[in-house]
Structure 1
Amino acid sequence: MQSGRRRIHVDPLVTDTLLACVMATVTVVYGRQAHAAQYQSEGWPPFGPLAIALSLAVNLPLALRGRAPWVAFGVSCGALAAYTAAGFQPSTNMWAPLLACYTVIVRSAARRSAWAAAVTAGVWAAAGLRARLSVELSLAQAAIGVAVVWLWASGSRQLAQRNSQLAELTAQLRREQELRARHAIAEERLRIARELHDVVAHHLSALAVQAGLAEFVFTSDPAAARQALASIGSSSRQAMEEMRGLLGVLRTGTETADKDALYRAAPGLDALDDLVERARASGLDVTRTVSGHQRPLPSGVELCAYRIIQEALTNGVKHAGHGARVRLNLVFHADLLSCEVTSQGGSAPAAGLPSSGLGLPGMRERARLYGGSLRAGPTAEGGFEVFFTIPLAPLDTTGGT
């Protein structure tokens, strides 16, 4: 069962044809009856076959007024002029040319419409004179009739133009909405890809290094192997927790009662200790220093800084190798947060850890998102450095923000 009513569409040609047939029928029937009752006594010619043929020629062209308005107008006005010149009583055929003139004015420019109005007024004035009206009355009748049609048709034309402009603007708005929706989807995909890269790449890199270490010292140093396996378990659980939180944020229509649990996986700078410990468990010699006046930061800024530091340590695990020395220096300035992560030394890069190529671009994108900047590249000593800054709200004199 359809929920709404189906809209019935009727071809305008069908409507115009019915209108033309009705007007032709009414004109012929009225002309014959009026001639039999009155016109013959007044001396008008009989309403015979010629009058009927000319009457049909005046009215039937209205069927084409939608497809060929100028053709319909020309034939109708010409037939009325012939009908009047033949001496027949013209009052029965004067309305079809006026309707044809209306259609021409609606469909044509003002200059061309003026010619159609002038021709219609002339035909009407001639018909009025033929109907034995005074010159003044004939001209007044033609002027008033054409003026009313002109005003009505001009209003209809302006309304049609406004409707066309409105339809065009609506279509343009719909296209812009589709473009904005596509852009939003693309941005959301980039955000999800960045989050997945930050979460998955860091933990999998650490898991791969720890698994390789456990396998290497499995027989020679069981205690170190057990410690590596414990780190694998801890890193994998944290990775699962972060992935669960990320998927929870992306999911719609969740039924969990604890809405805050969906956002617990977004870490901040208070989780740096765990991040450093995991990097140390992966074989890096990490030294961390924090200076300046520490204070609470917006959650977005904290997540941005945490993810950049996480990616920098992940790059150290991937490329610096086991035993590399990593220095992490986080500084809280009055209106700026800066961080420097440098790695140097190491036995060899970790094997089997392909790079996605999204690490450095993702870090730069995060820094730019909060108005900051990031610089990354090799150092003169042969290591690698990541340095970024993020602007903060100025620190007031009381130590607040």
Structure 2
Amino acid sequence: MPFRRSESRRHLLQDALLAAVVVAAALAQLVVPVHVFVTPGTGALVVAFVAITLRRTWVAGSLGLLVVLGGLESYVYADRLSPLALAYMIVLATAAARGSRPVVVLAGLGAAFGGFYAAWDLSFGGGRYAQLLNEPTELQAVALFAPALVLVSAWLVGLLVRLRRTTRIETALREGAQVSAERSGEAARSERLRAEMARDVHDVVGHALTVVIAQADAAAFVDDVDRLHAMAATIGAAARSSMAEIRDVLDDTDDTVRSTNDHGAVEALVDEARAAGIDVRRTAEGSPVPVPARSALVIRRVVQEMLTNAVRHGAPETPVLLREHWSATTLSIETENQIAAAPSDGGGGRGIVGMQNRLAAISGDLAVDRGDDVFRVRAQIPLVQAQNPLATTPGGPE
């Protein structure tokens, strides 16, 4: 606000200086008389000075003062023009450039009407202007339309200034909106990457901890030293694999989508679960096809979370059924396990929501069914159709 007040005072001072110049030009008639013009009186000079000074701070009032100025000049100087015609032009241009829409329209109508009224009024003055109306037709037309043309031209100049300023403001707003949209896009991308990274870390750590917990719980009932060493090795391998995957997650910010024929990720997860003592029975139908890298990552994370949920919430000593069905366009993965009477961690995790979000990102779908003490999770993952599908995959229980 202080800046605006300072700017308003600066404009007022500038306009007062301009008004003083116009008044001085009008008074120059006293020194160098030009017979076409008259020297305005004190009243006309004061009104013109105030109208020009307030042209930016009080646009509508300045237009009203022009009406007063026109009345004074019509009554006192009807036979000749006044040098204060410059005041009309300045105020009309400012009204068109800065006024509200009603003020702009009123200024345009006033410019046209005032110009023709001035021509009509001067034609009865008997002065030099009236003599022009008795000249040939061309000169009569010039004399008749000249005042209106001058005033309307000043109004049009103000409109052009207004249009240029509006265009400049719109361009600045458009550029600002574009920058804001780009920043919002970057923020959304960063948030998406953060959410994906959080889900990846959740899945990796959750799966590793599930393996570790399963081995640690079983160790209490094992007396065989070799078996204990094997279980400790499994825990170490799960921890190292988890750390390696977390490093990959933190380093991977590449959104490039590539096709891949690597279908060993699911098999590695199954082997890891079996090494932890979990009875995973896997079946597969159809022929695996190359899939985009992002879909391959989703497959790995979804299967990882499916197995983790099955171990956490499943009944001990019961098998986990893992079924795959490959087609040219879709991969269906389903896990099924018995539900434990009392889940080991009390439930309430984010695994289901994480799988839903992952699948939604690639237009996939997740179905969860709890019934008859059986927990089923089915994921539908869209695939890119490949021209050379892999030849074979195990078709029966492993």
Do the structures match in fold with TM over 0.5? yes
Amino acid at match of 1:151: L
Distance in 2 of aligned mates of 1:387 and 1:143: 82
Change (3 A) 1:339 1:85: closer
> Does the CA-based 8 Å contact 1:269-1:303 persist in structure 2?
no
Distance (whole Å) between structure 2 residues aligned to residue 344 and residue 337 of structure 1: 24
TM-score (norm 2): 0.77
> What CA distance in whole angstroms lies between the structure 1 residues aligned with 2:45 and 2:162?
29
Within-5 A mapping of 1:332-351: 332-344=326-338, 351=344
Measured in 1, the distance between the counterparts of 2:208 and 2:390 equals 37
2: CA distance, partners of 1:171 / 1:329: 53
Give yes or no for the alignment of 1:61 onto 2:51.
Answer: yes
Residue in structure 1 matched with residue 350 of structure 2 by the alignment: 358
- Aligned partners of 1:244 and 1:326: how far apart in 2? 29
> Cα gap change, 1:250/1:267 in structure 2, threshold over 3 Å: closer, same or farther?
farther
Query: What is the match of residue 231 of structure 1?
Result: 234
Match of 1:23 in 2: 22
Measure, in 2, the Cα distance between the counterparts of 1:117 and 1:231.
93
SS in 2 for 1:371: coil
* Equivalent position to 2:311, from 310, 313, 317: 317
- 1:212 has 2:217 as partner: yes
CA deviation after TM superposition for structure 1 residue 335, in Å:
3.6
Cα deviation for residue 281 of structure 1 reads 3.2
Instruction: Say whether residues 1:378 and 2:370 are aligned partners.
Output: yes
* Pairing partner for 1:391 from 360, 382, 394: 382
SS of equivalent to 1:21? helix
**107, 121, 128: which one aligns with 1:132:** 128
What is the distance in 2 between the residues matched to 1:206 and 1:326? 14
Query: What SS does the aligned partner of 2:31 have?
Result: helix
Contact 1:292 1:333 in 2 (8 A): yes
Shift of 1:65: 0.7
Task: Confirm whether residue 300 of structure 1 aligns to residue 294 of structure 2.
Answer: yes
Residues 183 and 299 (structure 1), Cα distance of their counterparts in 2 relative to 1, 3 Å cut: closer
| Deviation of the 1:24 alpha carbon | 1.8
After superposition, residues 208-287 of structure 1 pair within 5 angstroms as: 208-214=213-219, 216-217=220-221, 220-250=223-253, 269-287=263-281
Segment drifting more, 322-331 vs 266-275: 266-275
1:359 shift after superposition? 1.0
- Quote the Cα distance in structure 2 between the aligned partners of 1:128 and 1:197: 93
Judge conservation of contact 1:320–1:344 (CA < 8 Å) in 2: yes
Q: Kindly indicate whether the alpha-carbon contact (under 8 Å) linking 2:322 and 2:333 is maintained by their aligned counterparts in 1.
A: yes
Give the deviation of 1:235 after TM superposition. 0.6
The percent identity for this pair of structures is: 23
| Root mean square deviation, CA, Å | 3.7
Kept after mapping to 1: 8 A contact 2:20/2:49: yes
d(CA) in 2 for partners of 1:327, 1:192: 28
Shift of 1:197: 1.4
Unaligned runs of 5+ in 2: 1-5, 134-139, 392-398
Deviations 1:273-313 (A, max 9, x none): 33123212333112223333234333222222221111111
CA contact (8 A) 1:121 1:142 kept: yes
Q: In the alignment, which of 193, 201, 209 is matched to residue 206 of structure 2? A: 201
What per-residue deviation string (whole Å, max 9, x for no partner) do you get for residues 239-272 of structure 1?
A: 1101111111259xxxxxxxxxxx9xx9953133
Provide the C-alpha distance between the structure 2 equivalents of 1:375 and 1:15, rounded to a whole number of angstroms.
74
User: Residues 69-128 of structure 1: CA distance to partner in whole angstroms, max 9, x if unpaired?
Assistant: 232233244235424533496432221112212223342446423431145315643457
Correspondence for 1:367 = 359
Instruction: Report if the CA contact (8 A) 2:332-2:379 is conserved.
Output: yes
Aligned AA (2:233):
A
The one-letter amino acid of 1:132's match is R
Partner of residue 288, structure 1: 282
Of 52, 67, 72, the match for 2:62: 72
**Unaligned runs of at least 5 residues, structure 1:** 1-7, 252-262
**Using the alignment, how far apart are the partners of 2:145 and 2:326 within structure 1?**
91
Quick one: distance in 1 between partners of 2:87 and 2:117?
12
- Which sits farther off after the overlay, 298-307 or 62-71? 298-307
Choose from 74, 83, 92 the match for 1:92: 83
3-state SS of 1:34 partner: coil
What is the alpha-carbon distance in structure 1 between the residues aligned to residue 68 and residue 82 of structure 2? 15
Q: 1:155 aligns with which of 155, 160, 168?
A: 160
Q: Structure 1 pair 210/80, CA: closer, same or farther in 2 (3 Å)?
A: same
- How many angstroms does 1:212 deviate by? 2.8
- CA distance 1:369–1:187, change in 2 (3 Å): same
Question: Equivalents in 1 of 2:266, 2:388: separation in Å?
Answer: 28
Change (3 A) 1:184 1:14: farther
Could you say what secondary structure the match of 1:67 adopts? coil
Partner in structure 1 of residue 95 of structure 2: 104
Decide whether aligned partners of structure 1 residues 85 and 249 sit closer, same or farther in structure 2, where only a CA change above 3 A counts: same
Contact kept, 8 Å, 1:372 with 1:389, in 2: the verdict is yes
Deviations 1:192-238 (A, max 9, x none): 22212111111122222222333x146x3333322221111101101
Corresponding letter in the other structure for 1:33: V
Runs of 4+ in 1 over 6 A off after TM superposition: 397-400
CA distance in 1, matches of 2:347, 2:261: 24
Q: Is the 8 A contact 1:91 1:127 kept in 2?
A: no
TM-score (norm 1): 0.77
Q: 1:76 to 1:120 in 2, by over 3 A?
A: same
1:160-205 CA distance string (max 9 Å, x none): 4444544554455455445444433443332122212111111122
1:92 is paired with a residue whose SS is coil
Q: What is the number of residues matched between the two proteins? A: 367
